[in-house]
Amino acid sequence: MQEPQQLQIFKFGGASVKDAAAIRNLSSIVRAHGQPGPLLVVVSAMGKTTNALEAIYQLAHTGQEYTPQLALLRDFHLGVATELGVSDEAAGTPALAELLEQLHDRLATLLPGDFDKQYDQVVSFGELLATRIVARALQAQWLDCRPLIRTDHTWREGRVDWATTERNLRATLPGQLQHGPIVTQGFLGGTAGGHTTTLGREGSDYTAAILAYCLGAASVTIWKDVAGLLNADPKFFADTVRYPEISYQETIEMAYYGASVIHPKTIKPLAVRGIPLLVKSFVDPTAEGTRIHDCRHGLLVPAFIRKTGQCLISFESKDLTFISEENLEVIFGALAQVRLKIHLMQNSAISFSVCTDFSAYRLEKLLSALREQFTIHYNTGLELYTIKNYDAASIQRLTDSRELLLEQRSRQTFQFVCRGGVNEFVK
């Protein structure tokens, strides 16, 4: 087996393929920055297509009308392909029409129940369509990653079988890469039985890391609409600062706390094999960006991370007994069962509180499981703020005008939960 020397992996997310002009820009980046050696291009669904597919699926699964939304999605993809001169007619193959027909048939034959499994079979079409269009625009090879990236049956958050995936990729890709760049889907995997899985929302960054790890890539570059990894999301915070370089460890923590610029699972596979991750701007591709790698640096400026759509749930034992390890085991078990991830937790003598993402469906399942044993209160519409490497001024900047429902601090990290401010911009 031949090792693909100096393999470069580029990942383009939804914003960088949102329309024909964006895909033209992507093509010029690949021409100017993709080195002459092997290149693997990972692409997400175009713009907000995954959200649109989620909405269509929700309607279809509940027996409601969805054909106008499906027609919009179809026309959008066919329109972009035509504008780029890569329609089925121009390409001489009906790949887009076939995908759209498969999507149509899937939606028309949904079964009641099995929500998460069927979600994956439907929502995956966003990446399949986008990669067909981008591969044609780049005159590159198109690769279906689903038979190669093997996962278990955890629908909507497939867990990767690393050994099988590495074997599959190493048996297939090095040879194919010799024939030119390859375009493949982010976010998707497949089970041993041939069913499609997805890796969790915004999981295409993670796909790039899986491919890099398994193929021993020289680097991964994720092309974003920002100048690099910043100390806060510029959509919500004024005066953001770019980190020119930052360690895997700092980045993994920022992603874990909710810095949505990088999917939290992305860093570990890269760190394990020492593969640098470059975050660069597709708006200004020659700018430096951020290099995430094995480096040492002094204390960084405080980083601000905001997670919206949070829910604070507190459990009290009904008979005023203390919160014990036995109680906690039951609560943690139920949270894992309904797949609610804990972002922050705190306990007092008779009460235990957790902050999680709000999902009406999962919360209801949790309440049914624990209601008999505990008195449960919850608040929704909350935000969780994290300040990494905090100082007094940074705490003051965020907490001054807010009523804190819960707060916690360690040596480097300050976190608090408060009520959500609609589209609030932090100065």
Ligand X SMILES: Nc1ncnc2c1ncn2[C@@H]1O[C@H](COP(=O)(O)OP(=O)(O)O)[C@@H](O)[C@H]1O
Comparison of 202 and 383: residue with beta carbon closer to ligand X: 202
Q: Does 245 interact with ligand X (rule: CB under 6 A)?
A: no
Angle between helices 49-61 and 125-138 (to 10 degrees): 150
Nearest distance from residue 293's CB to ligand PHD, in Å? 21
Q: Does 201 interact with ligand PHD (rule: CB under 6 A)?
A: yes
Q: Does 260 interact with ligand X (rule: CB under 6 A)?
A: yes
Contact assessment for residue 183 and residue 143, using Cβ atoms and an 8 Å cutoff:
yes
Residue 224 interacts with, from ligand X, ligand PHD, none (CB under 5-8 Å by kind): ligand X
Residue 187 interacts with, from ligand X, ligand PHD, none (CB under 5-8 Å by kind): ligand PHD
Record the tokens describing residue 256, joined without a space.
Answer: 């874990």
Of 235, 297, 341, 419, which one interacts with ligand X (CB under 6 A)?
Answer: 235
Both ends of the chain: CA-CA distance in Å? 55
Residue 56 interacts with, from ligand X, ligand PHD, none (CB under 5-8 Å by kind): none
Beta bridge partners of 310: 357, 382
Contacts of residue 377, Cβ cutoff 8 Å, sequence gap at least 6? 313, 314, 316
Residue 225 interacts with, from ligand PHD, ligand X, none (CB under 5-8 Å by kind): ligand X
> SS in 3 state form for 279-343?
EEECCCCCCCCEEEECCCCCCCCCEEEEEEEEEEEEEEECCCCCCCHHHHHHHHHHHHHCCCCEE
Nearest distance from residue 116's CB to ligand X, in Å? 22
Q: Does 259 interact with ligand X (rule: CB under 6 A)?
A: yes
Q: Does 126 interact with ligand PHD (rule: CB under 6 A)?
A: yes
Nearest distance from residue 99's CB to ligand PHD, in Å? 15
Residues 5-34 that bind ligand X (CB under 6 A): 13-16
DSSP 365-402: HHHHHHTTTEEEEEEEEEEEEEEET--HHHHHHHHTT-
Binding mask 211-230 for ligand X (x = CB under 6 A): -------------xxx--xx
- Name the residues that contact ligand PHD, by CB under 6 A: 13-14, 44-45, 50, 126, 186-187, 201-204
